[in-house]
Amino acid sequence: PGAYEVEVSYVGYAKYRASDVKVIDGEAKRLDIELSSEGVTLNEIVVTDYKVPLVEQDNLTSGGIIITSGQIRNLPTRDVRNLAATTAGLSSRKKNKGRGGKEISIRSSRSGATDYYIDGVRVRGEGETTSMAAARSGPAVPAGQLTAGEWNDLDNWETWTELLEEDFQPFTQIWELAPNNRYTVEVKNKKGAPVANCQARLKNSTGKILWAALTDNNGRAELWSTEAGPPQSIELAYQDIQARIDQPEAYPTGTNRVQLETECQETMAADVLFVVDATGSMSDEINYLKAELEDAILRVERNLPGTELRTGALFYRDHKDDYLTCSSALSPTLDSTLAFIRSQSAGGGGDGPEAVETALAEALEKQNWNRQAAARLIFLILDAPPHQTPEVNQSLQQSIQKAAEMGVKIIPVTGSGIDKSTEYLMKAMAISTNGSYTFLTGHSGIGGSHIEPTAGPYDVQYLNDLMVKLILENTVAAPCPEQENPELAPPANLNPALLAQVRCFPNPTAGQFYLRLEKDFDQVVIRNLEGKLIEEKEKLKKGDHEFNADNWPPGLYLLELHKGIEVAVEKLVVERKP
């Protein structure tokens, strides 16, 4: 491991030299080098005669063969070597040594020179698995290695407002962004079920729209006043129903609740887009990130049967790099997203700011977001801030407002190397779009150093688990009851700050889980999203308490923890077993 200088030379081409090539322990480093012939002068050599006939083009031992998906479907095999061997000019034979399986020779050429591409990803011929199946291939490194944490500033509002006046005050000037004047809206139907995708607009006395948002799967939207004085109203629109709240209450004084005369509308759809910094500074973590993303996508697919799940990815670098952005559009074909993610690598950029604002704008404007989806999520994964210019600030502000208006939640995932200014910006993005702030931690030992997050006590968990939890929490909604169900109403005297005394792990779970309590609690009540009582325990002492969810149906569960007259609610995801 370390930094090296690499020099490449070849007859007829100018010498190429790459400096500061970083080699990381346990990772293969690939350099894509293009040699230039400009300015190179060679002595002339004239061939007047030859003893051996020149090789004819038709007899070359190299070539390329494409087997289509239609041909594969009609063949009784899915092994890549067996499929290739059905083509004229190709032969297969048993390996003489090493692991079992076959090797392919193209027109008697060496088998080691044969390359295979599965879903656009190159796989070398020698030294691979016994049977290279024409199906989803796994990531280069196993998932479940990067550690992460989450902190939702919307649930810890008093702490956030204090930070704005103290530690974060300088950063509000740098980024010209300070979400503070908060107006929370909660919309339910006549049976008490949450209404998703209801448009909410905060207006001043002249009718100017100060902020617009869509309610999420819990029927909640966060609106922000951009003026000093109190707003005049909140206007709601859902299908052909209109409603209005005059003189809305600011949070935490109150929550602006509305009940609409509408039936339940099941929204079984979710859009998830991964926006990833692919500059050179991400090289210490990007291969692990790709594995975590792939695992999260496949697990979410398994846990949301019957849901129209669309995924996509956008990788970005910086101006003057090989590319600025490259993307795979939101699609129900998960394999296309997985193949695209696997094909990406880190390069270019530097140790400073990157084109975050361009990536965010393209993610919102060039993707075909589903207006009716229960969840629209952007996981913004980076380790460097955007450039600090007035134009960039304006672009970021426009994108944040557009994301809120479209109902797209931004969930940052910050990597090693970020500073407090970048942390503030990411938190502000999450808050403004009703998202949550997440961050990689140093517990995994992977990558560079990580700053201590500005947060209260948080759970350290694997990044793939955290992503699965967040996607399911934002997608799964309470089913429509046959009649109004009082159990669906949020408990009175809700105090999210109590969650600082509670740790629920593992979460997600497929069986046993534990509640670790930092103080005594009077009671824990566990319900499903229909409000049905699943389990309850009285007088829980400080320490660990074991629960068994083996026989619980997969889904989202609410754990109500009672302490005196106050209640905290933790969400638990129970996964489908593979």
pLDDT 10s digits, 359-370: 999 999 999 999
Q: Among 44-53, 219-228, 327-336, where is mean pLDDT lowest?
A: 44-53
Summarize the confidence of residues 149-173 as an average pLDDT.
96
Q: Are residues 244 and 342 in the same domain?
A: yes
DSSP 240: T
- The whole domain housing 112 covers 59-137
On whether both 177 and 266 belong to a single domain, the answer is yes
| Partners of 405 in the β-ladder | none
pLDDT category at 201 given cuts 50, 70, 90 is very high
Task: Give residue-wise pLDDT tens across range 389-419.
Answer: 999 999 999 999 999 999 999 999 999 889 9
Using alpha carbons, list the distances in angstroms from residue 176 to 92, 389, 394, 545: 64, 11, 9, 46
DSSP 530: T
pLDDT band at residue 4 using 50, 70 and 90 as cut-offs: confident
Residue 502: its H or E element: strand 502-505
Both structure tokens of 553:
């149906």
Q: What pLDDT does residue 185 have?
A: 98
Tell me, yes or no, whether 382 and 464 share the same domain.
Answer: yes
pTM for this predicted structure: 0.74
Final residue in a domain of this structure, among 137, 159, 179: 137
Q: Is there a single domain that holds both residue 132 and residue 115?
A: yes
Asked whether residue 19 is assigned to any structural domain, the reply reads no
Q: Is the pLDDT assigned to residue 65 strictly greater than 70?
A: no
Determine the pLDDT at residue 15.
83
Percent of the chain clearing pLDDT 70 (strictly above): 79
Same domain flag for 392 and 279: yes
> Residue 50 falls within a domain, yes or no?
no
* Residues 500 and 398 both lie in one domain: no
Residues 228 and 90 in one domain: no
Domain final position from 88, 116, 137:
137
Least confident of 10-14, 205-209, 225-229, 498-502: 10-14
Q: pLDDT digit string (tens) for 328-359?
A: 999 999 999 999 999 998 888 766 799 999 99
pLDDT at 500 over 90: no
Instruction: Please state the rounded mean pLDDT for residues 20-26.
Output: 69
The Cα 380–Cα 382 span in angstroms is 6
**Residue 375, domain member (yes or no):** yes
Q: How far apart are CA 330 and CA 541, in angstroms?
A: 47
Give which of 443, 305, 435 is closest to 377, Cα–Cα.
435
pLDDT digits (tens, 9 = 90+) for 89-104: 666 665 554 444 556 6
Q: 90 and 166: one domain?
A: no
* Residue with token string 């509305």: 258
Structure tokens at 518: 């930092």
Buried b (16+ CB within 10 A) or exposed e, 514-552: bbebeeebeebbbbbbeeeebeeeeebeeeeeebebeeb
| Confidence (pLDDT) at 405 | 98
Same domain, 227 and 125: no
For residue 221, tell me if it sits in a domain.
Answer: yes
How confident is the prediction for the chain on average, in pLDDT? 85
My answer on whether 128 and 270 are in the same domain is no
For residue 65, give the H/E element and its range.
none
**Is residue 307 in a domain?**
yes
What is the pLDDT at residue 305?
Answer: 87
Per-residue pLDDT at 127: 37
| 250, 183 Cβ separation under 8 angstroms | yes
How many Å apart are CA 454 and CA 153, to the nearest integer? 10
CA distance 429 to 31: 35
DSSP 8-state secondary structure symbol assigned to residue 386: B
Residue 302 included in any domain? yes
Question: Does some domain include residue 535?
Answer: yes
Q: In terms of domains, do 290 and 165 share one?
A: yes
Residue 3 counted as domain residue: no
Residues 82-108: b if buried by 16+ CB within 10 A, e if exposed:
bbbbeeeebebeeeeeeeeebbbbbee
Among 445, 471, 489, give the residue marking a domain's end: 489
Element (H, E) at 392: helix 390-406
Domain count within the chain: 3
Tokens 């068994």 belong to 548
Cβ 14 vs Cβ 39: under 8 Å: yes
Can you tell me the mean pLDDT for 117-122?
49
Domain containing residue 510: CATH number: 2.60.40.3080
Please tell me whether residues 495 and 479 are part of one structural domain.
no
The two three-digit tokens of residue 165, written as one number: 């006046």
pLDDT tier, 149 (very low <50, low <70, confident <90, very high otherwise): very high
